[in-house]
Amino acid sequence: MRKWTVPAVLFLLCLLFLLPDQGRKIHANAEVDADAPVDPPKVEEKIGAVPNGLSTDSDVVKREAESMSRRTLRATAEKFEFQAEVSRLMDIIINSLYSNKDIFLRELISNASDALDKIRFLSLTDKEILGEGDTAKLEIQIKLDKEKKILSIRDRGIGMTKEDLVKNLGTIAKSGTSAFVEKMQTSGDLNLIGQFGVGFYSVYLVADYVEVISKHNDDKQYVWESNADGAFAISEDVWNEPLGRGTEIRLHFRDEAQEYLNESKLKELVKKYSEFINFPIYLWASKEVDVEVPADEEDSSDEDEKPESSSSEEEEEDTEKEEDEKKPKTKKAKETTYEWELLNDVKAIWLRNPKEVTDEEYTKFYHSLAKDFSEEKPLAWSHFTAEGDVEFKAVLFVPPKAPHDLYESYYNTNKSNLKLYVRRVFISDEFDELLPKYLSFLKGLVDSDTLPLNVSREMLQQHSSLRTIKKKLIRKALDMIRKIAEEDPDEANDKEKKDVDESNESDEKKGQYTKFWNEFGKSIKLGIIEDAANRNRLAKLLRFETTKSDGKLTSLDQYISRMKPGQKDIFYITGTSKEQLEKSPFLERLTKKNYEVIFFTDPVDEYLMQYLMDYEDKKFQNVSKEGLKIGKDSKDKELKESFKDLTKWWKGTLASENVDDVKISNRLANTPCVVVTSKYGWSANMERIMQSQTLSDSSKQAYMRGKRVLEINPRHPIIKELRERVVKDPEGESVKQTAHLMYQTALMESGFMLNDPKDFASRIYDSVKSSLHISPDAAIEEEEDAEEAEVESSTKEGSGEDAEEAEPSSVKDEL
């Protein structure tokens, strides 16, 4: 015990001496700290912070810096070759002289928005899928690194698995890839890239090396990288900070793309292209703020030098000076800080009052919604709110041009251009139940407060409210299209045109409906076929050329207004072109009597007229079919009686041709005869359309072919002469030949295809012989056999000589 006592006492004495000094030092330090200026709080600069405020360690920072500075593929990564069409697309983009490179940012933001839409929709039925903390924030972040020339775009969307990265960004070309390449080669407009689903590859307009870091809830975090040399690589991400969930795209800019390292340029692009994205877009932006910094001695001495003042003022200054001496002397200075700046704070346009939204805003919203960034405005739009049992808000647009694949696989694809929102939450853009197929060209969105939010897409499709929404949307859509026609000065009648001219209306809407019809007219015709409930309303939108329209489009209402007194039917004719139809023999008498006839030249018109039977109590009459009535002729009965023997004889002669009847015609003026079909059978044009079908069955078509009737012109000299010859010699071979030849010629002129073209050609040649007074039995001069023999012998000799000449050379070769 005594051994440890002395050291313990010495140790206690040392502590007693040290404690006062330490206390004085602490007190002194506290005073110094009190006088020192307080550093402003630092803003966290991490773009992809780990949830719950975790900070990265030094190793992660080091690895991330190495990752961001590299421009070559990682050696340990798994390498893949780009699919051929993707490589072709990238070659076009990389070597493009396209001046508008701005589109890359709008495409990446659009893709990020789609990814956020998907995860938000999935979270409706599974809230845990969003995660916690920062990971649950549905937003888009953009960050610049000017020193390393890198732009990062980050979203907390659904993310991509390794398989998704391979499929979506390289090996499997989407259907739009080849379509876009073809469009690019014809028009050269790279601005259309977003409409084909391949917008990601626009990054190579500005970057020569791209990294895509992505984390899906069902997989690890991976890095996709490519420097556009025909290959890409994917590896598990051990370099970068964990994303939690989502995707970050890093663009390593080319030297000629340095303008995009400017914050103001990025703000301008987001404002221009992505203002109406439904998720917040943040930019890591610099900002100058005023901060208090320690004042220099020179500044403090300047403050001390003040002009003389009264004694009272001096006393006040002395007291203030004493107070100031207690506080540290500071001054204000500018300091650059960084913070997340929100770039798109515009309220959703469909939630605003239509009267408060400008035309320019509607146009910008359409471009954002349709991914159509051409300079053309939409042809029309309709912004409305529906109230009642089902409440919803909607905005519909008529695009200026039809999509490239609008009518490809029309009945086999469920393609809709309407986005469905439920209480501002995006649900889907694949609801073809919202609009019928024939209106699928319309762009827009519907936001309903009535539909349930937390149900599956399949259950939502069966919801009864959708039928009500669809009905109202169709009515509004058709009203919007009708309004284009009403506001178009070219569509007005003569009286209305004068009023329009007097009102000095701008030419902006002139010709708009013609433009609409040229792009989407086929859709209106398909609507008449498919939508019986709105058939009459759609019929008002029909446009066509007629014998009196002078090359301009006209409507059914305008046609009816020009009908002759007593005319009960609307006359039309179908064919392949207007030029062909203008020369048709079926129009001869009608044009002579000043009747107007509609030209239908689109193949779909034949199907259309099977459904459009009447309009405004007027029946439609195909002038190439039976049943045409053009007033009454007092001599009809006499003519029928006088040509009774000829028509009877001709019908018997054509028994083998399946001719149902031979009649006197009331539609011909200059042509001797034509062939018409029965009222409910196929016309000649329809027969040709059906025969050209790839999978047509000729055996079944026989049931639909109309009965053929030969109509003759009793006033034509050929018909009169034939009648006389039949009376003299009804069994004469030449008369029968003439009757057959005239029928076959009438078939061709009426638009039918001949079953036996060889027989027709033979009859023509016989007729030519007769006109040249050549005997029908005149033989064709045959070639002499001797000449053929000489030719054969000469060829044999020639081949023998060649063989002899070839033999020595082959021997030489062998030696």
Residue owning tokens 């309407």: 418
116: tokens are: 């956020």
Do the beta carbons of residue 114 and residue 371 sit within 8 Å?
A: no
Q: Is 197 annotated as a binding residue?
A: yes
Q: Is 107 annotated as a binding residue?
A: yes
Return the percent helix, strand and coil in the chain, to nearest 5. Answer: 50, 15, 35
CA distance 500 to 319: 83
CA distance 600 to 73: 60
Task: Count the Cβ atoms, other than its own, within 10 Å of residue 172.
Answer: 12
- Taking every pair of Cα atoms in the chain, the longest distance, rounded to a whole number of angstroms, is 167
How far does CA 169 lie from the centroid of its chain?
21
Q: Is 198 annotated as a binding residue?
A: yes
Which candidate, 513, 511, 541, places its Cα nearest to that of 525? 541
Q: Is 444 annotated as a binding residue?
A: no
Do the beta carbons of residue 420 and residue 428 sit within 8 Å?
A: yes
Q: Is 168 annotated as a binding residue?
A: yes
Q: Is 174 annotated as a binding residue?
A: yes
Q: What is the DSSP letter of 54?
A: B
Q: How would you write 109-174 as a 3-class SS string?
A: HHHHHHHHHHHHHHHCCCHHHHCCHHHHCCCEEEEEECCCCEEEEEECCCCCCHHHHHHHHHHCCC
Q: Is 363 annotated as a binding residue?
A: no
Which candidate, 493, 482, 463, 458, places its Cα nearest to that of 534? 482
Half-sphere exposure of 686 (CA within 13 A, CB side): 24
Give burial (CB, 10 Å; 0-12/13-18/19+) of 559. buried
CA distance 253 to 206: 6
> Please, where are the H alpha helices in 503-564?
512-530, 535-539, 556-561
Q: Is 196 annotated as a binding residue?
A: yes
Q: Is 170 annotated as a binding residue?
A: no
CA distance 567 to 596: 10
Give burial (CB, 10 Å; 0-12/13-18/19+) of 106. buried
Four-CA torsion 800, 802, 803, 805, nearest 10 degrees: 130
CA distance 725 to 713: 17
CA distance 38 to 22: 25
Which candidate, 46, 228, 230, places its Cα nearest to that of 145? 46
Q: Is 247 annotated as a binding residue?
A: yes
CA distance 238 to 222: 9
Q: What angle do CA 797, 801, 802 make, to 5 degrees?
A: 115
324: tokens are: 């100031």
Do the beta carbons of residue 85 and residue 178 sit within 8 Å?
A: yes
CA distance 487 to 38: 68
Give the three-state DSSP class for 285.
Answer: strand
Q: What residues contact residue 277 under an 8 Å CB cut-off, 6+ apart?
A: 109, 110, 113, 140, 344, 368
Do the beta carbons of residue 672 and residue 716 sit within 8 Å?
A: yes
Q: Is 199 annotated as a binding residue?
A: yes
Q: Is 195 annotated as a binding residue?
A: yes
Q: Is 732 annotated as a binding residue?
A: no
Q: Is 431 annotated as a binding residue?
A: no
Q: What residues contact residue 339 under an 8 Å CB cut-off, 6+ apart?
A: 43, 284, 285, 287
Query: Which residues face 392 on adjacent strands?
Result: 386, 448
Q: In what order do the strands lie in the sheet with 140-145?
A: 78-81, 231-236, 221-226, 207-215, 246-253, 150-155, 140-145, 281-294, 330-342
CA distance 179 to 193: 10
Which residues define the annotated binding site for ATP?
Answer: 107, 111, 155, 160, 168, 174-176, 195-200, 247, 457
Which residues define the annotated binding site?
Answer: 107, 111, 155, 160, 168, 174-176, 195-200, 247, 457
